[in-house]
Amino acid sequence: MEWTGARYADKPTVEVETFIDAPAAAVWGFVSDVALMPSMSPELQRVEWQDGATGPSVGATFVGYSKHEALGEWHTTSTVIEYEPERVFAWAVQDVEVPTAVWRFTLEPRDSGTTLRQWMQMGPARSGLSFAIDKMPDKEQKIVFVRMREFETNMAGTLAAIKERVESATATSSAGV
C-alpha cells in the first residue's frame, strides 16, 4: 500500500486479491462462513450470528469480537448488505446507512479457477480508530495509513489461508480421499 495521505473522512479503501485453483462453488463455502474467519484472522476472535440467523442473507446480522494489541478488545454488530452466492458477500459494520466500515468478498471465475478479492472501506462513521485520531489530530494521516496497511496485511493473510484450505480440500477430493 502506497502512502495516500488519506484522512478518515476520505473513507479510504484497500483491496487484495488472489487466484485460487478451484471453481467459485468450492471457494464460496469458505468465504461465506463467517464462523471460519477467526481461524484466519489475527484480530477477529469469534463471530456469533444474531436473531436466529445461522448463515448469511441480506439483512442478517452477526457480532464480531476482535482484539488488537494497541486498540484493545471490542465487538461490533454487522449487517449483511450484499449476498449473491458464488459472487459477492458484503457487510456493513454497526450502522448500515453510515457504517464504521464496509467489508466485501467478490469471486470472479477465471480460466480453471477463481479470482478472490477482499475489499474494505474505513468509515465514514466514527470507530475505535477515531479515538486515537482525537488524541493526535496532527498524526491523523499516519494513523489512517498504518491502520490501512494492517488491514491490507491481515486481508492478504486471510486470502492466503482461504486459498490454502480450498486448494487442499479440492486436491483431497479430486484424489478420491
pLDDT at 38: 85
pLDDT in tens, 139-151: 999 999 998 999 9
Give the alpha-carbon dihedral of 124, 126, 132, 138, to 10 degrees.
50
pLDDT in tens, 26-51: 999 999 998 888 888 888 899 999 99
Mean pLDDT in residue range 110-124: 95
pLDDT at 174: 61
Q: Which helix (H) or strand (E) holds 53?
A: none
pLDDT at 130: 87
CATH fourth-level superfamily of 8-174: START domain (3.30.530.20)
The domain limits of the chain are 8-174
